[in-house]
Amino acid sequence: MQNGMHTDRERCVRAVQSKDARFDGWFFTAVLTTRIYCRASCPVVPPKPENMVFHPSAAACQQAGFRACKRCRPDTSPGSPEWNQRADLVARAMRLIADGVVDRDGVPGLAARLGYSTRQVERQLLAEVGAGPLALARAQRAQTARLLIETTPLPMAELAFAAGFSSIRTFNDTVREVYALSPTELRGRRPKKATAALTPGVLTLRLPFRAPLNPDNLFGHLVATAVPGVEEWRDGAYRRTLRLPYGHGIVALAPKSDHIACRLTLSDLRDLTVAISRCRRMLDLDADPVAVDDQLRTDPLLAPLVDKAPGRRVPRTVDEAEFAVRAVLGQQVSTAAARTHAARLVVAHGDPVDDPEGGLTHLFPTPEALAALVPESLAMPRTRRTTFTTLVRQLADGTLQLGPDSDWPETRAALLSLPGFGPWTADVIAMRALGDPDAFLATDLGIRRAAQELGLPSTPAALMARATAWRPWRAYATQYLWATDSHPINFLPV
């Protein structure tokens, strides 16, 4: 698939007529006769082709005067894979908007993060997504409001501000315009048994994804490398603490056949949108597994691995700086040793949290807290100590910035300039923290061992040359190659 699928009218019509869920989030169908917009897989009888128009985003549909379908709920579609497989201005802007930057810092703050003028950002978003940053943020607020209306007992006034609206009137007008129902009417449609099960401060959500999704390496990796006190596997769910803009949270994520069950506890409900966005990024839920696997199957040596367990995702992170620190702690040591190093830092420098439902105790320490520690207190070789202290100092003072808006090539180059940073460390951060779908760990021991077993070139240079055929999905090829090993990262915990 390529950017701008909504402009391929014939292809969009075929997808709608076949109710193909693979295209949910790639485009939205607006129906001229009913003035509603739907996802591609809407279960109702498809409209006549002459009554369909196609838009690249829910915000563009709303700006054009269409309201969301009550049957297929297009606002709950998986996000477009485009924004996680590209590193250009529009993709970086979309990732920042999903992370709540416009709500917190306005459009000027978004533009400043991207290094462009507000006019340039607005012009490019309008050209490609059909809506500017304010409209995109408004659509996101409407979706958050609906979630809160349906999953919490909050009074509407409190809920409106938690969803990011500046006034009750704007909240009421937006919900009515987008969903053709008032907030009270939306809540009235909720099943009564669901109302009785609500717990104050706890939200239970379903995170959608495009099938297939193989949870083995995804949850296996997160749990096998989990830092005690920050992460755990409990009752069939991966649980971890979250450091968020307005407070902190605890999330439990459990794989189901057609969604990820998500249980969120937040100290400040204004963090809901950001928490969901970061959990989706960590689990790579907006990926297009069919496009990825089709490309990797073209290599006859990879094809059997893909056919055996299709739909592997890249396990990522909820905090880019945290992951970079943990990558350094994991240099040239075992997984168990890396966890031990991280756990000591958590106890000494992390912020404590209460977790009545499990065994989580701390937030991972901030770069600022780690930059203030005494280097000699670190139980690691002097060279790695220098690597660690240089990294946390640059993260703390802003010299190095890691986030959803990072330019992948520029950030990789900045990482490689740090003492003790080689290709493996830079590439694992690019793959799992920055979300680069084409990052490839040619020097990784597990990858080289898998290559040798499969008959692929085993030297880094030769393997890198062979891997060009897997572009732009080499990070996913990494997951399939790792899966040939019996390491715990490849198995769903029991």
Residues with active-site annotation:
38, 444
Q: How far apart are CA 257 and CA 453, in angstroms?
A: 32
Of 73, 57, 67, the C-alpha closest to 131 is: 57
Please tell me whether the peptide bond between 356 and the residue prior to it is cis, using omega within 30 degrees of 0. Answer: no
- Provide the greatest CA pair distance for the chain: 71
Q: How far apart are CA 188 and CA 166, in angstroms?
A: 24
Residue 109 class from Cβ within 10 Å (0-12 exposed, 13-18 middle, 19+ buried)?
A: middle
The DSSP call for residue 31 is E
Q: How far apart are CA 327 and CA 119, in angstroms?
A: 38
* CA distances (Å), origin 249, targets 202, 272, 331: 10, 9, 29
Q: Which helix (H) or strand (E) holds 429?
A: helix 423-432
Tokens of 300: 């006859």
Specify the residue for token string 């901030």. 366
Q: Helices (H) and strands (E) in the chain — how many of each? A: 24, 9
Q: How far apart are CA 322 and CA 226, in angstroms?
A: 12
Q: How far apart are CA 58 and CA 55, in angstroms?
A: 8
- What is the residue-wise DSSP string for 356-401? TTSS--BPPPPHHHHHTS-GGGS-S-HHHHHHHHHHHHHHHHTSS-
Specify the residue for token string 């190095």. 400
